[in-house]
Amino acid sequence: MWPIFIIAHYVTVIIISAIMVHNHTKRDPMRTMMWVIVLYFLPVIGLILYVFFGQNYRKTKIFSRKALKDLKYLDRLTRQQVLMLRKSEIFEDYPEKAGFKNIMTLLLNNSKAILTEFNTIEMYHTGAKTFEAIKEALLAAKDHIHMEFYIIEDDKIGNEIKEILIRKALDGVAVRVIYDDVGSWGLSKRYVREIRKANGKIMPFMKVRFPFLSSKLNYRNHRKILVVDGKVAFMGGINIADRYITGGAFGYWADTHMKIEGESVQSLQAIFMVDWYFVSKEILLRKRKLYFPDNAVNKQILIQIVTSGPDSDWAGIMQAYFSIINSAQHHIYISTPYFTPNEGVLTAIKTASLSGVDVRLMLPEKNDSHLVYWSTLSYLSELMEAGVKVYLYNKGFTHSKFITADGHLSAVGSANIDMRSFEHNFEVVAIIYDEQITKELEKSFQIDIQNNSKPVNPEKWANRPWYKNAEEGMARLLTPLL
């Protein structure tokens, strides 16, 4: 019996390995090699891991935006803006932004990230201020509330939000909520039932119930989006959970979220509508005037809202980060809780530093994922050898996800500098071409590295105990599988 089982197993492994090599080697040879090793040296377990975590859906698409015919106007607008950029017409009013032409064109082509002009942004750096603003916006809703979060907890703040949603739904406001079925694993059935009982609609993003587990567990909706009446939107790194206020086990939780009013709200509305169509098959664009009202904002802040995920043709956010890093002339500030970049982004960061750009990276000193954290630490030696200045945030935990370049451009959103955000998760990031907003973020970054962080000393780091390097090296080997 056992010989037959072993033969059958290895025949299966050989077939899967051949398929992997054929389909994925050109795209990511290191990841393919690691999966082949796992399959061969971890019988049964390796096969199970591959079925759950190893399949690539960027090529086959979990779902396609092309199914929404009403979004074809985005294609037309994208082509128009690419043509305008090619002729430099946009820069007649913004000559100082001409240096961003290549980045703007890239994001139009790889993610249909429409360039919007009239916007306002209010930045928040704590959960308490973020939720205060969110609750105020929810209470003011007149027509609809569109909300999607990776994590919604059945805790104090989660129930405060729920009670507002129920109240607004009973008042006739259309309430639609998407929660990720893995990130919100602990969300109770009672929580969902009470919102639905009040005529609110709440849907999970890709339920992970057998027998569909293998195709869905590895691809999660990591976005944090709230749109109220098509006029006000929120996005960033904060989920709906008490720890974003109290700090949880870390004592203090730093994060970055923002409130947007203006034309970019329409971009976030469109993203929600695509995700809502995926979970519910309901098309919302028939009420276009209500969902996309006329913009009343006169302040000029140029923004592109970029998405990426298994539904997209390109790794749009990764390419945005790569392009921003390559374009910097003076300095780059990066804040991320998880840092396991692919080779392209890692090389871009080291190349920028070696070229004389002041590159600074802030990471948390403590982390909520040991394996990912060990893998993160494995990159520090080569970064510091290239001249990158590394700081470990020690006031509590920093969950902020942003990049700033030269005091003129910033990227804020849900995506970490890691392979999961680049390849597997559904993410959203705002690329902001504004000096005031960027300098506000850079001021916050500088305060944190001066008062709430400690610089990593390259010499001391190089002389750490051998077992630290060993555990980090082992975690680094597993990075392509994370």
Is residue 152 within 8 Å of residue 159, measured between CB atoms?
Answer: no
Residue 281 phi, psi dihedral angles, 5° rounding: 65, 20
Cα separation, 361 vs 445, in Å, equals 10
Cα separation, 424 vs 219, in Å, equals 5
Q: What is the CA radius of gyration of the chain?
A: 23
Q: Which residues, 6 or more positions from 438, have their beta carbon under 8 angstroms from its beta carbon?
A: 404, 405, 407, 408, 409, 410, 432
Give CA 134 to chain center in angstroms: 20
Helices 466-478, 370-377: crossing angle, 10 deg rounding:
110
Is residue 436 within 8 Å of residue 419, measured between CB atoms?
Answer: no
Cα separation, 410 vs 7, in Å, equals 54
Q: How far is CA 402 from CA 198, 332, 455, in A?
A: 37, 11, 19
What's the length of the chain? Answer: 482
Q: What 8-state DSSP symbol labels residue 366?
A: S
Amino acid at 74: L
Tokens of 468: 């630290």
Cα separation, 38 vs 46, in Å, equals 5
Q: What 8-state DSSP symbol labels residue 479?
A: G
> Which residues are identified as catalytic?
222, 224, 229, 399, 401, 406
Q: In terms of Cα–Cα distance, which of 476, 482, 478, 481 is closest to 346?
A: 476
Helices 316-327, 343-354: crossing angle, 10 deg rounding:
10
Strand, helix or coil for residue 228 = strand
Q: In terms of Cα–Cα distance, which of 59, 31, 7, 69 is closest to 283?
A: 69
Give CA 102 to chain center in angstroms: 22
Helices 2-24, 29-41: crossing angle, 10 deg rounding:
180
Q: What angle do CA 276, 314, 383 make, to 5 degrees?
A: 115
